[in-house]
Amino acid sequence: MNQVPLVRTEGKAFADQATLTPERMVRDPRLLRASKTDGTREVERALGLGDSLYFYVGHACPEFGQIVLAYTPEWSTSEPGGATPFDTGGLQLGYVQGNGTDDPVSYCISHRVTLASWLDDFTAYVERHFSSPGAYVLGERAQTDDISGRLLHPSNSRRAWTWELQIESDHQLLANLKLLCVQSELAEAIRRELRMLPDDEAAAWIDLISSSDFRVAPAGAEAPAVCGMAEEVISTWL
């Protein structure tokens, strides 16, 4: 199976302004663990997770913004942290239903795997439960349930069966980047920022936005459209 990428959706505004903007993308290109809500920090404390940078495997979630970044997954296996076959915030808040989810701490512990092993575990999971990797990426329901009844539970939505990585380090935005999708207004804002940089500092970005790894949604496109475009592209890789 061709590997499903890690996806980070950015651009959501936080109270402390720790979010990704075109200026920050170009001048300080890092994905930061600080870009999270106090609610997410409380989930980390409740479930015993470290201070993490979150990625979904193959899912561009529009609730987190309109900037979609997809990364090759191999680098994550040497990072500190863990992975779960569901959204940890959804589990803690009661949006993930199944046998045992009423004790979210125990459920998380019993399902969480190391980052060193997650790629093999994820591959087996998709082969066991989904018709194809592309079906998983496009948000289709599993064909077979898991032992806890989570995958086919009628109350559950996509984030109840999407894998989540909790990486306990910040990440350089351009490192291992395979795809960047933005709306056209953001694309133009990135280009404006690049025109103010010296050529040597802008070189990597110029290469990116001149390549097929840079996809631009039509003017006025909202987050769901940008995220849907990204997932369609990703599904063609598999």
132, 1 Cβ separation under 8 angstroms: no
pTM over 0.85: yes
Residue 143 carries which side chain, given as an amino acid letter?
A: Q
Helical residues (DSSP H) of the chain, grouped into ranges: 22-27, 38-47, 88-92, 104-111, 118-129, 133-137, 184-195, 199-209, 223-235
**How far apart are alpha carbons 50 and 170 in whole angstroms?**
12
220 three-class SS: coil
pLDDT one digit per residue (tens) for the chain, 238 residues: 479 999 999 998 776 655 889 999 999 999 999 888 899 999 999 999 999 999 999 999 999 999 999 999 999 999 999 999 999 999 999 999 999 999 999 999 999 999 999 999 999 999 999 999 999 999 999 999 999 999 999 999 999 999 999 999 999 999 999 999 999 999 999 999 999 999 999 999 999 999 999 999 999 999 999 999 999 999 999 9
217, 182 Cβ separation under 8 angstroms: yes
**How far apart are alpha carbons 72 and 178 in whole angstroms?**
6
Residues near 36 by beta carbon (within 8 Å), at least 6 away in sequence: 14, 54
**How far apart are alpha carbons 59 and 8 in whole angstroms?**
8
